[in-house]
């Protein structure tokens, strides 16, 4: 019956017989979740409410028949009840599923899966046609009872499913068909089963060999979830068969060595070398460890990544990249997302990059305690479908061993499953028993097919156990005695599966023994090879990153004529585009800014830097919260039509551009977005990748990415990045969370020339440092760039620069204060400072023009790290009467640059010259929350700096 009677006084008159039972079933579903019924039914129920119930003796509006037989009220009630049962089997069958190998989890209430709960019996169900409760039921299913049994078998086996939270009707229909019609008849052929058994032997015997051979060494065994290796290998080959040419993978340490060996093909000899010589590192770690024999301090073997290329046919070649990952388990997730997106983007033409989601994919393996426990997981899931960050779906595997370090599930999460976080992002979830290898293979195939079809994430919850403690030296029975009593008595998955194949006549015991021995022999042979060459491959450690020459000191200038041509194009808009009037006036001021006598502000210089970089053929990717407009509304690179709301980006239409320009407003996330941008840059080193914080302080939230990846990735893993971080910094009285980008932390992490840290004072300096940074991408000189970006200085006229400073100048490591130091023999005090405080001092000096300041000179340290010792030393040498060098800053004494600069200045100070500090005293909070207090302190710093007296230094600290 159609839904065509909505205009009738009684819309239910058109429903009778089975159709009436069906409409009642749909209403029950509607009450639980309106999204589970079609839009027509949602409109019907919203307008007319609940269909009336029919009681015994009451006559329906139309004959209630199925064929020639009439249907009474009891039959209708049975039909509705059966419909509820079917819906609950699909939604909650997982609660009764056989997905716990050790049977150690709490038992769920499964009454909702029993017909008795709904007041129906087997006899009742036998009387109902199957198609009334199961649309498109298989032809061999004759009645509702058989339908219920088939569905229970499909949803409560060693594979369990959760997808009722997926809103898209087409996706749900595909998932139901896959579970109910295709998986029950799926099977592996004989050769596939033998191959799967060999994979299980490889995983198990590899771990067993390491356990016996390298006693007491940590490896974070995968045992208990051995089938992970076969599952991931299947995902890789399924994706490759679908045409994916690059696969990015991420995982924590558990099982990593096994994945390296048996999915990425890292030779046993390389892995054994890392164990065999680990106390004294006689051997280079391995080529498969991303070349860490160059400029490395190294990392433990179970943090290292690798690359592998393979072919699944004659023409398709797939490259797998396993990302390096520290022990901050889940923080590699967004990095892997960045890898995948970078592989999908074609950046060779102007405009946004052209993204092919079919060309690359990502696989991430998670821990069951870390997946719900670490917020970076939810952040990464959240960006998965956003325009600027999607990579067409990630295949997630929770390597679920039911224990996090020593903590059991009831202490580590508030949810039924470790996977429940994914439900909020409409990600289908399959729970699978790790002791059923074939079920794991089916889950892998379902996941990869879903990703290929719908370009969305899919999650496999692989439920096993952990054979040993957190590591192989740990005794887990001190905290989980009952669990490990079961573990000790439990057969390994290779034994379970080989017995199953023998019983099925697929393989003989002799063949099983032969396959197993073949794996063992390969392991022994590799180990013997490592022993035979012991001591023959000494470590080739270089002098490190500092030994590399910076090839970015010379950057080609851009002529004034080219800048003027570019500027004119940037101010050209489509005829039909209506720029917001207030903004149009601001942009029109840029028309003559390159003329003689005029100046460019910070935002204008940035736009010209971007434009010239694109003209040089260098792609740019810029993201962060509000970057299209910018937090301080100085950028406005994406304009919004004041009438239609359409958008327009001048850099996308720039005739001079020879590469793409991507600009994306990010979600309210620092860690996931910064990790994504870092991963993008590592995978696409030719791209100038820029991340801007809304306020510099907010990098606190991304500290793990900064500490573990951006600052140390090159040293640990020889992983080069030239990412730019723009961190608004400066004391304007806005309070603790809007003042400091925690400059001191970046300086504390500085070493081996691992990055550049800058705090600039002019638009021209910003223009030149961006162009300098663009020139070093893809080179050995590539380093991250950390810029303490301005806030109030963005529109300060003292920061503006002339066109000639852009066209003729270059980046200066230090800048001397104009009109000071002209009489070197009279200079007694030399001020060193950086960033906004230098502009505050310049403003104060101009107001004191009548005063004699020949005794004073000021140096702005524009690049803090690497510290410009040579340039500062040359300036100091010009002043023979120098009595003191003072570091002036607006940050508290225990923050900012003082403790970093102090020893470096003392090393340069001439004998008899004091080194001291002017600034705020030591504080626990970065800034005052009171404007009056801030203003008083700031003025006091300025006065003390410009005060000429024998006791010159203001040092409020002890």
Per-residue pLDDT tens over the stretch 68-103? 345 688 889 999 999 999 999 999 999 999 999 999
Please report where in the chains the tokens 């580590």 appear, as a residue: 412
Give 34 or 866, the one with higher predicted confidence: 866
Please name which of 437, 507, 364 lies closest in space to residue 202, comparing C-alpha atoms.
Answer: 437
Token readout for 885 is 């060098």
In this prediction, residue 15 has a pLDDT band, given cuts at 50, 70 and 90, of: low
Torsion of CA 788, 793, 794, 796, to 10 degrees: -160
pLDDT at position 571 is 94
Q: Is 645 left (phi over 0), alpha (psi -120 to 50) or beta?
A: left
Q: Which of 8-12, 463-467, 652-656, 907-911 has the lowest mean pLDDT?
A: 8-12
Looking at the DSSP bridge assignments, the partners of residue 863 are 758
pLDDT at position 27 is 84
291, 314 contact by CB (below 8 A): no
Q: Three-state DSSP class for 690?
A: strand
Give the Cα separation of 296 and 304 in Å (integer).
12
Neighbours of 212 (CB within 10 A): 8
Please state, for a pLDDT cut of 90, what percent of the chain lies above it. 74
Neighbours of 777 (CB within 10 A): 23
The H or E element spanning position 168 is: none
Q: Is the pLDDT of residue 367 over 60?
A: yes
Give the Cα separation of 823 and 933 in Å (integer).
37
Token readout for 146 is 């058989």
pLDDT at position 301 is 52
In this prediction, residue 300 has a pLDDT band, given cuts at 50, 70 and 90, of: low
Q: Is the pLDDT of residue 544 over 90?
A: no
Please name which of 258, 266, 252, 250 lies closest in space to residue 221, comparing C-alpha atoms.
Answer: 258
Count the alpha carbons within 13 Å of 729 in the hemisphere toward its beta carbon.
33
Give the Cα separation of 820 and 444 in Å (integer).
71
Please name which of 759, 754, 751 lies closest in space to residue 813, comparing C-alpha atoms.
Answer: 759
In this prediction, residue 257 has a pLDDT band, given cuts at 50, 70 and 90, of: very high
Give the Cα separation of 810 and 801 in Å (integer).
13
In this prediction, residue 566 has a pLDDT band, given cuts at 50, 70 and 90, of: very high
Q: What is the largest CA-CA distance in the chain?
A: 117
Q: Which of 56-70, 155-169, 434-448, 630-644 has the lowest mean pLDDT?
A: 56-70
In sequence order, which residues have a C-beta less than 8 Å from that of residue 237 and are 6 or more positions away? Answer: 312
Neighbours of 685 (CB within 10 A): 17
**Between the CA of residue 405 and those of 293, 477, 879, what are the distances in Å?**
32, 12, 62
In this prediction, residue 282 has a pLDDT band, given cuts at 50, 70 and 90, of: very low
Q: Is the pLDDT of residue 304 over 70?
A: no
132, 145 contact by CB (below 8 A): no
Token readout for 19 is 């159709």
Please state, for a pLDDT cut of 70, what percent of the chain lies above it. 89
601-618: pLDDT as tens digits: 999 999 999 999 999 999
Q: Is the pLDDT of residue 777 over 80?
A: yes
Q: Mean pLDDT across the stretch 733-748?
A: 95
Count the alpha carbons within 13 Å of 730 in the hemisphere toward its beta carbon.
22
pLDDT winner (highest mean) among 145-159, 261-275, 400-414: 145-159
DSSP string, 179-201: IIIIGGG----HHHHHHHHHHHH
Fill in the DSSP letter of residue 324. P
pLDDT at position 39 is 75
pLDDT at position 484 is 83
Q: Is 782 left (phi over 0), alpha (psi -120 to 50) or beta?
A: beta
Torsion of CA 344, 349, 351, 356, to 10 degrees: -20
Token readout for 755 is 């990055």
In this prediction, residue 305 has a pLDDT band, given cuts at 50, 70 and 90, of: low
Q: Is the pLDDT of residue 473 over 80?
A: no
**Distance spanning both ends of the chain, measured CA to CA:** 87
In this prediction, residue 105 has a pLDDT band, given cuts at 50, 70 and 90, of: confident
Give the Cα separation of 435 and 450 in Å (integer).
24
Q: Is the pLDDT of residue 551 over 70?
A: no
pLDDT at position 804 is 96
In sequence order, which residues have a C-beta less than 8 Å from that of residue 363 and are 6 or more positions away? Answer: 232, 235, 236, 239, 247, 248, 249, 250, 394, 395, 396, 397
Fill in the DSSP letter of residue 786. E
In this prediction, residue 16 has a pLDDT band, given cuts at 50, 70 and 90, of: low
Please name which of 573, 603, 569, 574 lies closest in space to residue 586, comparing C-alpha atoms.
Answer: 603
pLDDT at position 540 is 42
Looking at the DSSP bridge assignments, the partners of residue 786 are 725, 757
Q: Mean pLDDT across the stretch 95-113?
A: 92
User: For residue 827, how far is the Cα from the chain centroid?
Assistant: 53
Q: Is the pLDDT of residue 832 over 70?
A: yes
Give the Cα separation of 39 and 211 in Å (integer).
59
Q: Mean pLDDT across the stretch 346-359?
A: 97
147-174: pLDDT as tens digits: 999 999 999 999 999 999 999 999 999 9
Q: Cα 689–690–694 angle (5° rounding)?
A: 155
252, 324 contact by CB (below 8 A): no
pLDDT at position 700 is 92
Q: Is 912 left (phi over 0), alpha (psi -120 to 50) or beta?
A: left
Q: Is the pLDDT of residue 853 over 50?
A: yes
Helices (H), 621-742: 671-683, 703-704, 713-717
In sequence order, which residues have a C-beta less than 8 Å from that of residue 139 and are 6 or more positions away? Answer: none
Q: Is the pLDDT of residue 43 over 50?
A: yes
Residue 704 φ then ψ, to 5° = -60, -45
pLDDT at position 71 is 64
Q: What is the mean pLDDT of the chain?
A: 89
In sequence order, which residues have a C-beta less than 8 Å from that of residue 191 and are 6 or more positions away? Answer: none
266, 273 contact by CB (below 8 A): no
Token readout for 886 is 């003072």
Q: Which of 9-18, 317-326, 473-482 has the lowest mean pLDDT?
A: 9-18
pLDDT at position 948 is 84
Order the strands of the 884-892 sheet from edge to edge. Answer: 814-816, 856-861, 829-833, 884-892, 914-920
């Amino acid at each position: 019956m159609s839904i065509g009677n909505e205009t009738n006084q009684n819309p239910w008159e058109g429903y009778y017989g089975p159709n009436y039972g069906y409409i009642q079933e749909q209403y029950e579903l509607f009450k639980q979740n309106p999204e589970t019924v079609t839009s027509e039914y949602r409109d019907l129920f919203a307008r007319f409410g609940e269909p009336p119930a029919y009681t015994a003796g009451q006559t329906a509006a139309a004959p209630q028949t199925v064929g020639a037989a009439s249907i009474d009220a009891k039959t209708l009630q049975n039909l509705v009840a059966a419909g509820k049962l079917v819906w609950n089997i699909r939604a909650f069958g997982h609660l009764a599923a056989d997905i716990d190998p050790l049977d150690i989890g709490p038992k769920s209430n499964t009454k909702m899966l029993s017909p008795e709960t709904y007041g129906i019996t087997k006899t009742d169900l036998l009387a109902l046609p199957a198609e009334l409760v199961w649309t498109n039921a298989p032809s061999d299913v004759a009645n509702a009872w058989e339908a219920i049994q088939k569905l229970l078998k499909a949803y409560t086996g060693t594979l369990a499913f959760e997808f009722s939270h997926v809103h898209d009707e087409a996706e749900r229909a595909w998932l139901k068909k896959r579970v109910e019609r295709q998986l029950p008849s799926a099977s592996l052929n004989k050769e596939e089963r033998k191959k799967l058994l060999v994979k299980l032997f490889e995983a198990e015997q590899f771990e067993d060999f390491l356990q016996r051979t390298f006693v007491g060494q940590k490896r974070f065994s995968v045992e208990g979830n051995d089938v992970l290796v076969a599952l991931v290998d299947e995902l890789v080959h399924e994706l490759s068969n679908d045409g994916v040419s690059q696969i990015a993978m991420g995982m924590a340490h558990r099982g990593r060595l096994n994945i390296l060996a048996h999915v990425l093909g890292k030779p046993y000899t390389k892995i054994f070398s890392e164990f065999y010589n680990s106390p004294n590192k006689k051997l280079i770690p391995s080529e498969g460890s991303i070349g860490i024999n160059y400029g490395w301090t190294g990392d433990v073997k179970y943090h290292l990544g690798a690359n592998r290329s393979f072919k699944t046919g004659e023409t398709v070649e797939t490259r797998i990249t396993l990302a390096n990952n520290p022990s901050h388990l889940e923080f590699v997730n967004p990095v892997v997302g960045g890898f995948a997106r970078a592989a999908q983007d074609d950046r060779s033409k102007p405009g946004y990059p052209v993204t092919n989601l079919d060309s690359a994919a990502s696989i991430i393996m998670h821990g069951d305690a870390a997946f719900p426990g670490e917020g970076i997981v939810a952040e990464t899931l959240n960006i998965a479908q956003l325009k600027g960050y999607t990579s067409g779906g990630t295949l997630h595997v929770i390597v679920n061993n039911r224990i996090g370090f020593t903590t059991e599930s009831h202490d580590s999460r508030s949810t039924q499953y470790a996977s429940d976080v994914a439900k909020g992002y409409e990600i289908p979830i399959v729970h699978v028993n790790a002791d059923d290898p074939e079920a794991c293979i089916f889950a892998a195939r379902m996941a990869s097919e879903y990703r290929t079809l719908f370009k969305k994430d899919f999650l496999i919850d692989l439920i096993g156990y952990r054979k040993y403690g957190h590591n192989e030296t740990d005794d887990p029975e001190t905290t989980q005695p009952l669990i490990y009593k079961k573990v000790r008595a439990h057969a390994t998955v290779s034994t379970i599966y080989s017995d199953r194949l023998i019983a099925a006549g697929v393989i003989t015991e002799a063949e099983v023994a032969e396959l197993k021995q073949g794996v063992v022999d390969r392991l022994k042979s590799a180990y013997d090879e490592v022993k035979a060459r012991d001591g023959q491959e000494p470590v080739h450690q270089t002098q490190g990153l500092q030994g590399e020459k910076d090839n970015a000191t010379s950057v080609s200038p851009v002529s004034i004529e080219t800048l003027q041509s570019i500027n004119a194009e940037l101010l050209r808009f489509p005829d039909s585009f209506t720029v917001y009037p207030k903004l149009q006036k601001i942009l029109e001021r840029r028309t003559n800014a390159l003329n003689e006598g005029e100046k460019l502000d910070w935002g204008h210089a940035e736009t010209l830097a971007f434009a010239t970089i694109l003209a040089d053929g260098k792609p740019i990717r810029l993201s962060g919260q509000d970057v299209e407009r910018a937090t301080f509304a100085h950028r406005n690179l994406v304009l919004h039509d004041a009438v239609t709301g359409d958008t327009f980006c001048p850099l996308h239409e720039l005739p001079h551009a020879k590469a793409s320009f991507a600009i994306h407003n990010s979600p309210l996330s620092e860690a996931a977005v910064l990790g994504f941008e870092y991963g993008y840059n590592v995978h696409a080193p030719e791209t100038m990748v820029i991340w801007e914080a809304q306020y510099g302080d907010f990098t606190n939230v991304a500290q793990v990415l900064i500490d573990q990846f951006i600052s140390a990735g090159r040293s640990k893993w020889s992983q080069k990045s030239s990412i730019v971080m723009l961190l608004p910094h400066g004391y304007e009285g806005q309070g603790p969370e809007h003042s400091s980008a925690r400059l001191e932390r970046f300086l504390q992490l500085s070493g081996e020339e691992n990055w550049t840290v800058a705090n600039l004072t002019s638009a021209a300096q910003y223009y030149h440092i961006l162009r300098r940074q663009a020139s070093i991408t893809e080179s050995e000189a590539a380093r991250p760039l950390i810029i303490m970006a301005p806030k109030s200085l963005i529109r300060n006229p003292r920061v503006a620069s002339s066109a000639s400073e852009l066209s003729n100048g270059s980046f200066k490591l230090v800048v001397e204060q104009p009109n000071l130091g002209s009489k070197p023999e009279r200079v007694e005090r030399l001020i060193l400072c950086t960033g906004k405080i230098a502009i505050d001092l310049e403003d104060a000096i101009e107001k004191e023009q009548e005063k004699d300041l020949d005794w004073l000179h000021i140096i702005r340290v524009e690049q803090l790290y690497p510290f410009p010792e040579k340039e500062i030393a040359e300036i100091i040498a010009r002043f023979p009467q120098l009595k003191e060098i003072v570091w002036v800053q607006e940050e508290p004494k225990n923050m900012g640059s003082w403790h970093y600069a102090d020893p470096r200045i003392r090393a340069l100070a001439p004998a008899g010259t004091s080194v001291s500090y002017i600034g705020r005293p030591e504080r626990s909070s970065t800034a005052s929350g009171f404007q009056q207090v801030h203003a008083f302190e700031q003025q006091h710093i300025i006065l003390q700096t410009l005060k000429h007296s024998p006791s010159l230094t203001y040092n409020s600290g002890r």
